[in-house]
Amino acid sequence: MGSGQVTDWQGKNVTVAGLGVSGIPAAKALHGLGANVTVVNDGDDARAREQAAELRALGVTVRLGDGATLPEGTELVVTAPGWKPDKPLFTAAREAGVPVWGDVELAWRLRGPDAAPWLCVTGTNGKTTTTQMLASILKAAGLRTAAVGNIGVSLLDAVLGEERYDVLAVELSSYQLHWAPSLRAHSAAVLNLAPDHLDWHGSMEAYAKDKGRIYEGNRIACVYNVADKATEDLVREADVEEGCRAVGFTLDAPAPSQLGVVDGILVDRAFVENRQKNAQELAEVSDVNPPAPHNIANALAAAALARAFGVPPKAVRDGLRAFTPDAHRIALVADLDGVAYVDDSKATNTHAAQASLAAYESIVWIAGGLAKGATFDELVAKSAKRLRAVVLIGADRALIREALARHAPEVPVVDLDRTDTGAMLAAVQEARRLAVEGDTVLLAPACASMDMFVNYNQRGDAFASAVGELGT
């Protein structure tokens, strides 16, 4: 099972590592193709037993509570993307010369001869929004498409389902890219690079290398962020098909082979005739929802990938206008007494929080949670001039408080020594007390949520509920 397509799965012994959103579709697909499938899973809880019963009813072997041992006779391992590369199962596979694929790799290998091309998106932040924007633009062009991958829709389902697509908008995480060595996209974008998931990858260098895999073998365009040199470096290092171009996006006026912004207009100088002299207007900044700087960058990246696929300018404009971002992504919750209350609970790391803070001039910032090893000095130093006040919640709030003392000592700080879910109402009430007309009360925690909430969605809902109580 080398680098080529596998056409005959009959009788192949395949081990699927992990149940869940990727493991179950992989096991079902491989079993349906005639493979002998064994699923191994670390957990043995009620949910896992329920999933195992479903697979066993089909004839799939499932081993719960034993994800470390490689089943005898395994010829291929297909892993859930989150399983760390240093797990004993993978060490055993390497020693036995058994290849390890992720669900993305499996989907790539199972495509039919007339499969839809993939337009791929990765980056530390903004992946989902950009992929959804891209799908909206492609649909506006009349193309049959779907936003798939790390976004929650299984690539396997998209590849093996009955619906036929012209092109797929594919969000890919660094985990998925690590396990997808033969992926070759039509065009791809790396939106940005900042330290994240380093416990999984082992180093920033390894993390960047896995992100950069998205450019390997690109046919038409490698889209990079002009403001983030690391993304351009990944393009330079990639082995692409002859004729594939590097296309930058920037919030400034674009140079040739770039997309950018001129006088409130999104402009293309990459996919036009005589790009040394000509430019094509695509949309207005006001067509982007919301028109925060980092979201304009997302829109430019989506537009670049769509234009690489030949989409006309009008579809870019219409697709951006039709796009509505998911909840908890820099979403205006309410405007009370001239103060805007904005939920960006999805800003779970410092890079995302910095982009959110850059969107407003005068901010009462609600922050804190689980830091996941992050440091906050750079974030606070870059954002200090925008901060009217800060309200801190969560387990690791002291790390942010200490950074504020070093880099923004004049900014008032309220430190709520609480990690119960009711702390959000207290935080919003404190923020209201501190804010004046024209301010933005911004929930951009720069931390994960699991110290107080099930996930960032619940945290954002708690913020919205607390803001709702202010208005009554």
Tens of pLDDT, residue by residue over 434-458, are 999 999 999 999 999 999 999 999 9
Express as a percent the part of the chain with pLDDT over 90.
Answer: 79
124 annotated as belonging to a binding site for a ligand: yes
**Coil, helix or strand for 146?**
coil
Residue-averaged pLDDT of the chain: 92
pLDDT band at 237 (very low <50, low <70, confident <90, very high): very high
127 annotated as belonging to a binding site for a ligand: yes
Chain segment 269-285, per-residue pLDDT in tens: 999 999 898 999 999 99
125 annotated as belonging to a binding site for a ligand: yes
pLDDT surpassing 80 at residue 195: no
The Cα angle at residue 201 between residues 76 and 345, in degrees rounded to 5: 115
> What gap in Å lies between CA 456 and CA 96, rounded to an integer?
41
Q: What one-letter code names the amino acid at 460? A: G
126 annotated as belonging to a binding site for a ligand: yes
Chain segment 298-331, per-residue pLDDT in tens: 999 999 999 999 999 999 999 999 998 878 888 8
Provide the pLDDT for residue 311. 98
What average pLDDT score do residues 15-35 get? 91
Sign of torsion, CA 404 405 411 413?
A: positive
What average pLDDT score do residues 120-129 get? 92
pLDDT band at 4 (very low <50, low <70, confident <90, very high): very low
Provide the pLDDT for residue 427. 97
The answer to whether the bond into 325 is cis (omega within 30° of 0) is no
128 annotated as belonging to a binding site for a ligand: yes
